[in-house]
Amino acid sequence: MTVIDANRMHEIETRYPEYFHRSFRQRFGGLMILIATLLYSLYAVWFFDLPKLFAEAHWERVGIYLSQWVSYDVQPEFRIGDDGSIDIRYPRFSPLGDNPHPDWLVNNPDGSITVSISGTSRTVTVSKSETIVTAHGVSVPVDVSSGAPKVVGPVPGWMTVYDDNVLADLGFAGNVSISVDRVKIRKRFIGWANFVFDTQSSFFDKPVGEVVSLIVSGPRIKPDQSNLSLAFDDIWNNSEWQHGDVWTKLFQTIVMAFLGTLLGALTAFPLAFLAARNITPNRLLNQILKRFFDFLRSVDMLIWALFLTRAFGPGPLAGSGAIFLTETGTLGKLYSEGLENIDNKPREGIKSTGAQTVLVHRYGIMPQIVPVFVSQTLYQWESNVRGATIIGAVGAGGIGLKLWEAMRTNANWENVAYMVILILIVVFIFDTASNALRHRLMGTKTH
């Protein structure tokens, strides 16, 4: 074991004072940051009243909305006449078309009608005097022959009795509303109804094989138009899913992001040379331009979109303008900081030959900054594809406005899911392409 004497210890302390004479910040800085973070978290919990917020939140709506993203429902209504007849009606624009005859609805010999909500485990049988709901292993009759519906026997937990109505909740499969003169049924199906052809199409409700046969070699449905052209028109103009409008708005969003980013980059590029202190030695001009960049990017893109929609009206022009203003500020700051951090030796070497300023910039600065500038611009373009979706919700055009309209009705969540998936696919494609281009320009490998 080596013993260090006092002189040797003093020599080590003198040589490495940062290890033996640490300041208070160095010794307790990490602990203070941890305590400050904990205190701030507690303050945030108190300020936003998170316990009350979580307690009063409608968590059940999450499941409802998610189920509506991946399913649709059919709502037949059974009206019971005074003579005991049962008239079946469907809402306007029903997913089943104008004259539906679903196989899950059976007319019984005694005049009653049985509806299969989910196989044989959940059924509803409607007759003139009672409605029998079968679910969770029990059958519950509801008498509708008197002035108000009345549950015969004990009321199960999945049934709710009101003054003039009995509601049976059958979970994801649907629900049943029973009154004296009518029974409303909501039956849920997994999938997206009429995604390819709507109920007005000549190809609606035809098997895939028959549709393919008609398109390839079948007789013309319309004499003046081929079946292939007719099928494309029916898909593009689908009244329920509005594929044509959705894809047009999606393309608008991409163009908005591209045009706004391109114009912002073209404007910011020359201004950055004037804002960089080592390129333009005019402190007043440097500061004015840098504060101008700060102003443009400090106003959020959404706020710019609100201003421009008031000036030019709703549409993609306002969206492109909002992206342009924001990107001029953001890219101007990034470009100017990149110029201020270049290596001055190549520039000074070219300048020493007596070359003109343009040539000094071309050969002394551009080779250093072009890969970085292009990389930053590509990243902003990729980010603006997402941003263009948000500003569309305030009237700036693109798919964002379409998405907001679908969400506002609170009934077209399957359409919302469709557009969200399209946005995710576009963002993924642009993210992958942007990353590949950036790595290629920077000379790094992708992982």
CATH number at residue 420: 1.10.3720.10
Residues 35 and 89 in one domain: no
Structure tokens at 398: 């693109």
Over residues 198-209, the pLDDT tens digits come to 888 988 988 899
Q: How confident is the model at residue 186 (pLDDT cuts 50, 70, 90)?
A: very high
Residues 29 and 172 in one domain: no
Asked if the structure places residue 237 within a domain, the reply is no
Residues 222 and 361 in one domain: no
Structure tokens at 133: 């709901």
Residue 294 has pLDDT above 70, yes or no: yes
Interacting residues of 236 by C-beta distance below 8 A, sequence separation 6+: 243, 244
Q: Would you call 272 exposed, middle or buried from its count of C-beta atoms within 10 A (0-12, 13-18, 19+)?
A: buried
Residues 368 and 226 in one domain: no
- Report angle CA 354, 355, 356 to the nearest 5 degrees: 120
Range of the domain at 288: 243-442
Asked if the structure places residue 9 within a domain, the reply is no
Residues 287 and 224 in one domain: no
Residues 394 and 293 in one domain: yes
Nearest to 230 by CA among 207, 203, 193: 203
Q: Length of the chain in residues, anyone?
A: 447
Helices marked H in 85-207 — which ranges? none
Residues 183 and 205 in one domain: no
Asked if the structure places residue 66 within a domain, the reply is no
Asked if the structure places residue 7 within a domain, the reply is no
Residue 247 has pLDDT above 60, yes or no: yes
Residues 225 and 369 in one domain: no
pTM: 0.78
Residue 412 has pLDDT above 90, yes or no: no
**Whole-angstrom distance, CA of residue 377 vs CA of residue 126:** 65
Contact assessment for residue 301 and residue 319, using Cβ atoms and an 8 Å cutoff: no
Q: How many CB atoms lie within 10 A of CB 36?
A: 10
pLDDT value of residue 2: 59
* Mean pLDDT, residues 103-128 taken together: 90
Q: How confident is the model at residue 21 (pLDDT cuts 50, 70, 90)?
A: low
Over residues 368-392, the pLDDT tens digits come to 788 888 888 888 888 888 888 888 8
Q: How many helices (H) and strands (E) does the chain have?
A: 16, 13
* Mean pLDDT, residues 175-195 taken together: 91
**Whole-angstrom distance, CA of residue 123 vs CA of residue 141:** 12
Asked if the structure places residue 63 within a domain, the reply is no
Q: What phi and psi, each to the nearest 5 degrees, are found at residue 122?
A: -130, 105
Report the amino acid identity of residue 287: Q
Asked if the structure places residue 8 within a domain, the reply is no
pLDDT value of residue 235: 93
Residues 184 and 225 in one domain: no
Q: How many CB atoms lie within 10 A of CB 279?
A: 19
Q: Would you call 19 exposed, middle or buried from its count of C-beta atoms within 10 A (0-12, 13-18, 19+)?
A: exposed
Contact assessment for residue 245 and residue 402, using Cβ atoms and an 8 Å cutoff: yes
Asked if the structure places residue 447 within a domain, the reply is no
Residues 219 and 298 in one domain: no
Helices marked H in 190-314 — which ranges? 208-217, 227-236, 243-275, 283-298, 301-312
Residues 159 and 209 in one domain: no
Residue 161, strand partner residues: 166
Residues 254 and 397 in one domain: yes
Looking at the 3D structure of the chain, how many domains does it have?
A: 4
259 vs 390: which has the higher pLDDT: 259
Asked if the structure places residue 11 within a domain, the reply is no
